[in-house]
């Protein structure tokens, strides 16, 4: 039978053991390999190839192995962040809002800046010489969008068509989801769909690379400004690691590294910057909790 001193020691040891997981959690996670996910808005192989300078920069700056990954679609990227299968992610604005609704503890900390602005626009385009001369002509026709969770290739232009042109995708035209921004541009260029929408910076990049022939499309309108793509991290990382990751992006200057993000640099941001997308979801009567 234990005496009083032995019993006190046993209680102390048991209490310490019980507190160990909480202490470790307070210290935060410090993985040897950092998994960084980039948005699947173009061909995955091209994205990974273009991101090799980013991988080298982060490995050099953070003194860690870095794995660049591209998920199959927006939904799988959200789920990977939700279940801790990636530590850092480059989300689209609306896909971030969806991810935040499912994983409240994730933190946006940097936003892309292009032409001095942390916002960008969606561009609505039509096939040159096709049946859509103005956006009013979209009525009764198919309209090409990217992924359902894409901001500039679905939600923003869909809200723009509704608010400015009174064109409701539920009854006035037929939404066709093509997956990626470049798929939308190619489909409109080829006349497979008479009109569609995608990110203006991505379209400009596709044209400059020769992937899209500017003479075969017509740019009809631009959406209202959209908060740019955020860089997001898991909240339960070690504080020193979080600060190092934050600094690595905010101090990023190398044009070759920034090319993977199609931006000139990064500025600090927070969750409140994306409330405008939550308002867009309200306009479109979307239930964030039920979207994948």
The pLDDT score that the predictor gives to residue 17 is: 47
| Pair 146, 162 in one domain | yes
Tell me whether strands 65-70 and 33-38 are parallel, antiparallel or unpaired: parallel
Question: Is the same domain home to 170 and 141?
Answer: yes
Q: Mean pLDDT over residues 141-162, rounded?
A: 93
Domain boundary among 224, 246, 277: 224
With respect to residue 1, please indicate whether it lies within any of the assigned structural domains: no
Q: Outline where DSSP puts E strands in 114-241.
A: 119-120, 122-127, 142-145, 174-177, 195-199, 217-222, 226-227, 230-233
Which one of 21-35, 88-102, 237-251 scores highest in mean pLDDT?
237-251
- Looking at 202, 224, 246, the residue that finishes a domain is 224
* pLDDT per residue as tens digits for the range 279-289: 888 888 876 66
Both 104 and 163 in a single domain?
A: no
Q: What angle do CA 20, 24, 26 make, to 5 degrees?
A: 115
CB-CB contact of 37 with 251 (8 Å): no
pLDDT band at 23 (very low <50, low <70, confident <90, very high): very low
Residues 136 and 210 in one domain: yes
Six-digit token pair at 240? 């020193």
Query: What would the two tokens of residue 71 be?
Result: 């998920």
Identify whether residues 106 and 59 lie together within a single domain.
Answer: yes
Sign of torsion over alpha carbons 273, 246, 38, 254: positive
Place of tokens 């859509």: 132
Record the tokens describing residue 234, joined without a space: 């898991």
Number of domains in the chain: 2
* pLDDT value of position 40: 84
Q: How confident is the model at residue 259 (pLDDT cuts 50, 70, 90)?
A: confident
CATH code, 47: 3.40.190.10
* Residue 196 placed within a domain: yes
**Residue 49 domain boundaries:** 33-118+228-290
Confidence category of residue 11, pLDDT binned at 50, 70, 90: very low
pLDDT value of position 27? 72
Query: Is residue 262 scored above 90 in pLDDT?
Result: no
Query: What is the C-alpha to C-alpha distance for residues 92 and 238, in angstroms, rounded to an integer?
Result: 25
Give me the pLDDT at residue 89, please: 96
Question: Among 224, 246, 276, which residue terminates a domain?
Answer: 224
- The contacts found for 260-264 with CB under 8 angstroms, 24 or more apart, are 260/38, 260/47, 260/50, 260/51, 260/53, 260/54, 261/90, 261/112, 261/229, 262/112, 262/114, 262/201, 262/202, 262/205, 263/112, 263/113, 263/114, 263/228, 264/113, 264/114, 264/115, 264/116
267: enclosing H helix or E strand: strand 265-268
């Amino acid at each position: 039978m234990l005496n009083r001193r032995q019993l006190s020691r046993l209680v102390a040891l048991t209490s310490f053991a019980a507190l160990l997981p909480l202490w470790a959690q307070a210290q935060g996670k410090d993985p040897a390999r950092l998994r960084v996910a980039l948005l699947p808005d173009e061909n995955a192989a091209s994205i990974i190839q273009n991101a090799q300078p980013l991988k080298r920069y982060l490995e050099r700056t953070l003194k860690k192995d870095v794995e660049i990954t591209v998920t199959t679609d927006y939904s799988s990227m959200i789920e990977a962040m939700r279940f801790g299968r990636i530590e850092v992610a480059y989300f689209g604005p609306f896909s971030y809002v969806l991810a935040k609704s499912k994983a409240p503890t994730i933190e946006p900390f940097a936003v892309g800046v292009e032409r001095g602005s942390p916002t960008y626009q969606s561009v609505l385009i039509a096939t040159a010489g096709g049946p859509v001369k103005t956006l009013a002509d979209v009525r009764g026709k198919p309209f090409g969008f990217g992924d359902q969770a894409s901001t500039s290739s679905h939600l923003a232009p869909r809200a723009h068509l509704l608010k400015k042109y009174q064109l409701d995708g539920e009854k006035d035209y037929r939404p066709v989801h093509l997956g990626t921004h470049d798929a939308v541009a190619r489909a409109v260029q080829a006349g497979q769909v008479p009109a569609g929408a995608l990110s203006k910076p991505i379209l400009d990049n596709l044209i400059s690379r020769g992937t899209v022939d500017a003479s075969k499309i017509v740019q009809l309108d631009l959406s209202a400004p959209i908060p740019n793509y955020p860089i997001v991290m898991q909240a339960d990382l070690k504080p020193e690691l979080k600060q190092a990751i934050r600094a690595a992006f905010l101090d990023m200057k190398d044009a070759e590294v920034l090319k993977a993000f199609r931006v000139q640099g990064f500025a600090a941001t927070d969750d409140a910057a994306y409330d405008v997308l939550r308002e867009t979801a309200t306009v479109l009567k979307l239930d964030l909790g039920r979207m994948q």
